[in-house]
């Protein structure tokens, strides 16, 4: 079956749970270390230079479209960029971004500003404008940001963490300080995503990667209201919003009430079960284990086809359940992206 709808139209229709000929596909962290072409650029410039140079950010954003066959382009950037614009103490070293002075006091929270996005992060919106011009509306452009809870974790832990003991100690012993921080982050991120849509992003994704580390009642208190606060400020008739949480099995029903149009879920929940639980309120994105792309072609095909079957004929965007692993062979990433086309052709 040959389809005449554009990739953009298919993607946006899937986000809105309108019927489509087949699921669209892209991959989280799709511009990255598994691509030699990305590595070649990174060998010349630092990570932060790459984020802040629209020429280069556009180039690496487009690489997966040309090399892998994804059906949506996500702008290349980093979730910590808005934190830097807030005045948080971040250093972008060769080993990756680093909070030089983890946040622990009321004074540090009060010192953070809610920045004007275009003024403080012009390179982000320049990247979006150029990408949108390059894509010409044929392929959808995704903007993204970290969610308040995940950004707060980063600021308080000083980086990723095994047990998230430091941020949780704040939540459970100084909740009013945590709430002050989360509110400021929510307003920063809402303004940032509004500016991304104004610059040309047709979809936005909010990454609350670490919110799945919270017990359901703690998610309800510390993550959910700030996700809601971000989504309430976005015009989703213009650009649908996707919410990603890693380890979301215990909170799916709440996620469906945040105001997101699409829930992006990890591989530890069965996709058919997720659909049953959230009903018809939201579209679903996911949810193949990124490690499946380290397997045989037969394994990749079996898991992807089963995911497409469970995702159903509307309201499903094929994706990984987390970012693509750096060790993924390029051929396997290509096979994953080709699956919806192959699969739809195999259907009666």
Binding site for a second copy (CB under 8 A): 163-165, 168-169, 171-173, 212-218, 247, 249-251, 267-270, 273, 289-292, 294-296, 299, 303, 306, 321, 325, 327
Q: Radius of gyration over alpha carbons of the chain, in Å?
A: 19
Instruction: Compute the CA torsion angle 251, 253, 255, 260 (nearest 10 deg).
Output: 160
Point out the catalytic residue in the list 29, 120, 129, 334.
29
Least distance in Å: CB of 66 to a second copy?
26
Pairing of strands 90-93, 96-99: antiparallel
Point out the catalytic residue in the list 33, 120, 129, 277.
33
Point out the catalytic residue in the list 17, 22, 34, 78.
78
How many other C-beta atoms can be found within 10 angstroms of the C-beta atom of residue 228?
16
Mark whether 268 is an active-site residue. Answer: no
Mark whether 78 is an active-site residue. Answer: yes
Phi first, then psi: what are they for 322, rounded to 5°? -160, -175
The C-alpha atoms of residue 147 and residue 137 are separated, in whole angstroms, by: 27
Mark whether 29 is an active-site residue. Answer: yes
Q: Which is nearer to a second copy, 259 or 295 (CB)?
A: 295
Any idea what DSSP says for residue 19?
B
The pair of structure tokens assigned to 310 is 């469970």
Q: Which is nearer to a second copy, 10 or 301 (CB)?
A: 301
Q: Burial code of 316-338, b = ≥16 C-beta within 10 A, e = fewer? A: bbbbbbbbbbeebeeebbebbbe
Tell me how far apart the terminal alpha carbons of the chain are, to the nearest angstrom. Answer: 10
Least distance in Å: CB of 180 to a second copy?
17
Q: Which is nearer to a second copy, 63 or 287 (CB)?
A: 287
Least distance in Å: CB of 303 to a second copy?
8
Least distance in Å: CB of 326 to a second copy?
9
Point out the catalytic residue in the list 42, 129, 277, 334.
42
Mark whether 120 is an active-site residue. Answer: no
Least distance in Å: CB of 223 to a second copy?
12
Q: Which is nearer to a second copy, 119 or 176 (CB)?
A: 176
HSE (CB half, 13 Å, CA atoms) of 295? 14
Q: Can you give the length of the chain in residues?
A: 348
Q: Which is nearer to a second copy, 281 or 299 (CB)?
A: 299
Point out the catalytic residue in the list 34, 38, 149, 154.
154
- Of the candidates 184, 189, 182, the one whose C-alpha atom is nearest the C-alpha of residue 167 is 182
Mark whether 33 is an active-site residue. Answer: yes
Q: Which residues are identified as catalytic?
A: 29, 33, 42, 78, 154
């Amino acid at each position: 079956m040959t389809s005449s709808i554009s990739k953009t139209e298919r993607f946006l229709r899937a986000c809105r749970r309108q019927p489509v000929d087949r699921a669209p596909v892209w991959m989280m962290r799709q511009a990255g270390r598994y691509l030699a072409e990305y590595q070649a650029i990174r060998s010349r410039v630092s990570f932060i230079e790459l984020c802040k140079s629209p020429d280069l950010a556009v180039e690496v954003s487009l690489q997966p479209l040309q090399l892998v066959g994804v059906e949506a382009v996500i702008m290349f950037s980093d979730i910590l960029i808005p934190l830097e614009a807030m005045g948080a103490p971040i250093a972008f070293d060769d080993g990756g971004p680093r909070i030089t002075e983890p946040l622990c006091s009321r004074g540090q929270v009060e010192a953070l500003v809610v920045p004007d996005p275009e003024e403080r992060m012009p390179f982000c919106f320049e990247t979006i404008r150029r990408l949108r011009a390059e894509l010409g509306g044929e392929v959808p452009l995704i903007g993204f940001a970290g969610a308040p809870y995940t950004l707060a974790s980063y600021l308080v832990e000083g980086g990723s963490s095994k047990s998230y003991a430091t941020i949780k100690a704040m939540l459970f012993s100084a909740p009013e300080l945590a709430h002050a921080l989360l509110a400021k982050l929510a307003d920063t991120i809402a303004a940032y995503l509004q500016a991304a849509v104004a610059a040309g992003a047709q979809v936005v994704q909010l990454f609350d990667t670490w919110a799945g580390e919270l017990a359901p009642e703690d998610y309800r208190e510390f993550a959910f209201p700030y996700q809601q606060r971000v989504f309430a400020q976005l015009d989703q008739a213009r650009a649908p919003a996707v919410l990603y949480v890693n380890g979301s099995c215990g909170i799916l029903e709440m996620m469906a009430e945040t105001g997101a149009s699409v829930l992006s879920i990890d591989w530890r929940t069965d996709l058919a079960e997720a659909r049953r639980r959230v009903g018809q309120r939201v579209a679903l994105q996911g949810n193949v284990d990124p490690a499946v792309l380290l397997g045989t072609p037969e394994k990749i095909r079996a898991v992807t086809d089963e995911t497409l079957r469970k995702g159903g004929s509307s309201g499903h965007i094929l994706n990984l359940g987390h970012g693509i692993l750096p060790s993924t062979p390029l051929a396997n990433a290509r096979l994953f992206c080709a699956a919806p086309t192959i699969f739809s052709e195999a259907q009666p």
